[in-house]
Amino acid sequence: MSTSNRFKAFFDWVDGEEWCAKTPDEVIARQKKAPVRRPTYELDSYRRFRRLNQAVGALFCITLAVVLTLVVVSFPPFGDPANPANNEVPARYIERGIEETGSANLVGGMILSYRVFDTFGESSVLFLAATCVTMLLRRDRNNTTSRDLRELRSDDRADRKDKDIVLRTVVLLLLPVSVMVGFYVMLFGHLSPGGGFSGGSILGGGLILYSRTFGSGSVRKFFNEHLYHLVKVVCLMCYGLILVYYVFTGSNGLDNHIWLGIPGNIISSGIIMPINVLVGFEVACTIYAFYALFSEGEM
C-alpha cells in the first residue's frame, strides 16, 4: 500500500467506517426511490453557493476572534483577589458553608444545598436527554431492517466466540476497582473531590467495559431495561422529594430538622450524601443507556 493510499485509508477511517453517500444520486440509489420532481440544481452549483457562504463565514470568524481577544484584554487580571467575582457571595459560602451545610467539600455543599434547585434542573435535563435518545434510537419492528438484524447477530456471535484471555483477565481485574472507585467517589462526595456525577460516570464506565468484553447479553442478566427505568425514575423522584422538603421548610422559615452531623465524618452533611448517591445511580444508568442505545438500539 502506497503512502497516499495509507493516508486516504486513515482519513476514511476518521470519517467513519460506514459507507457515506457523496452525491444526491447515490442517496437516491440507496433509498431505491425515483425522484419525485426534476432536480432543481446540482450539487456543484450548491457547492459554488457554499463557497460564497464560506467567505462570509470566514469574515465572521475572524471578526469574532478579534472582538473576543479585545474583550479578554479588558477583563480583570487573572488570579487577582480583588476581582469583582470575589465578592460577598463566595465569602459567605466559604465562611459559613460548613456550619450551614456540614459538607467539607465547599463546592459540593454549595451546589447541593444552597443551589440544590439548579442541580435538580440539571438532573432533569439528563433524564430528558436519556428519554429523547431512547425515543430516537430504540429498535422496534418498524425501524429495523433485516440488514441491521444480520449485523447485530454477527456482532453478537463474534463477541461470544472471541475469548481473548488477556482482555478478559484485565477487565475482570479492572472491574472491581472501577466499581469500588465509583462508589467511593459517590459516598465521599461531601468530604473530597467528587460527587454523584463523577462517581456515576465511573460506575457507568465499568458497566460499559463489562458489556464490551462479555457481550451485552451478560449485562442483561442483572441489568435489564425494566431495572433501568425503575432505578432512573425512583432516584429522580427521591431527589425531588428531598428537595421539596428542604425548600418547603426553608422558604416557610421553619427549622431545618435534617441532622448535619459532625463535619468530616462519613455520615454527615444532611441531605448532601443521599443526593450524591441518588444522582450517582441515575448518572450510571444514563451513561450505560447511552452506550447500549447507540451500539445496539436496546438495553
Partner 1 sequence: MSDFLSILWTQRYMVTAVILFCIGTFSLIFNPNLIKKLIGFDLMDGAIYMMLTSAGYIEGRIAPIVTDFSATPSVETYINPVPTGLVLTGIVVSVSVTAFALALVVRIYKKYHTVYLDVIMASMKKGVD
Instruction: Please classify residue 133 by burial: count the beta carbons closer than 10 Å to its beta carbon, then call 0-12 exposed, 13-18 middle and 19+ buried.
Output: middle
Per rule CB under 8 A, is residue 299 in the interface with partner 1?
A: no
Per rule CB under 8 A, is residue 33 in the interface with partner 1?
A: yes
Instruction: Tell which positions 208-237 bind partner 1, by CB under 8 A.
Output: none
Q: Considering only residues 6, 7, 12, 21, which one is a binding residue for partner 1 as defined by CB under 8 A?
A: 21
Distance CA 195, CA 108 (A): 7
Closest CA to 106 of 263, 285, 265, 214: 263
What would the grid cell of residue 22 be? 457523496
Distance CA 157, CA 164 (A): 14
Per rule CB under 8 A, is residue 104 in the interface with partner 1?
A: yes
Closest CA to 199 of 288, 284, 104, 112: 284
- Give the residue with the Cβ less far from partner 1, 21 or 167: 21
Closest CA to 109 of 97, 117, 118: 97
Q: Considering only residues 7, 8, 9, 94, which one is a binding residue for partner 1 as defined by CB under 8 A?
A: 94
Per rule CB under 8 A, is residue 16 in the interface with partner 1?
A: yes
Per rule CB under 8 A, is residue 259 in the interface with partner 1?
A: no
Per rule CB under 8 A, is residue 46 in the interface with partner 1?
A: yes
Per rule CB under 8 A, is residue 164 in the interface with partner 1?
A: no
- Give the residue with the Cβ less far from partner 1, 1 or 36: 36
Specify the residue for cell string 429523547.
132
Q: Considering only residues 116, 126, 243, 292, which one is a binding residue for partner 1 as defined by CB under 8 A?
A: 126
Instruction: Tell which positions 176-195 bind partner 1, by CB under 8 A.
Output: 191-193, 195
